[in-house]
Amino acid sequence: MSDTATTITDASVLQAIISHLLNFGARAAEDARWLVSILPDDLLGFFRSEVMKAIREKAGNDAVKTRKIFLSLGKTAKVIFGPEYAATKGKLDSASKQAVARSGRNQGEIGSLRTNA
């Protein structure tokens, strides 16, 4: 292997997988289903936390955008987060409502948070 060759690491593979899931959103549900089926429980927890970290980074750590990206994943998020989906969504809903209230964003956004919950 030459010095200029790209080294494939576990971290880069994980990043590529997460990037694929985020870019394809709900269309990646089958890919997510397969991946979740082969991951042991301890790695599944780690994978979920890495996916959430990537969602937050993609949203620029904005709570409203984080919630929007999470919801846009649709079935893919439900597959990845499994039994933790409802609790994760609830936390994101709460954080998003608090961010909207703090920033004084318009009432239309607050209303949409209530109707999408």
pLDDT tens by residue, 8-46: 688 899 999 999 999 999 999 999 999 999 999 889 999
Over 80: is that where the pLDDT of 5 sits?
no
Over 90: is that where the pLDDT of 103 sits?
no
Mean pLDDT for 100-117 is 62
In the block, residue with structure tokens 């990646």: 28
Burial 69-78, CB ≥16 within 10 A → b, else e: bbbebeebbb
Closest-CA residue to 97 (of 109, 88, 85): 109
Over 70: is that where the pLDDT of 64 sits?
yes
In the block, residue with structure tokens 């397969």: 34
pLDDT at res. 115:
53
CA distance 28 to 57: 20
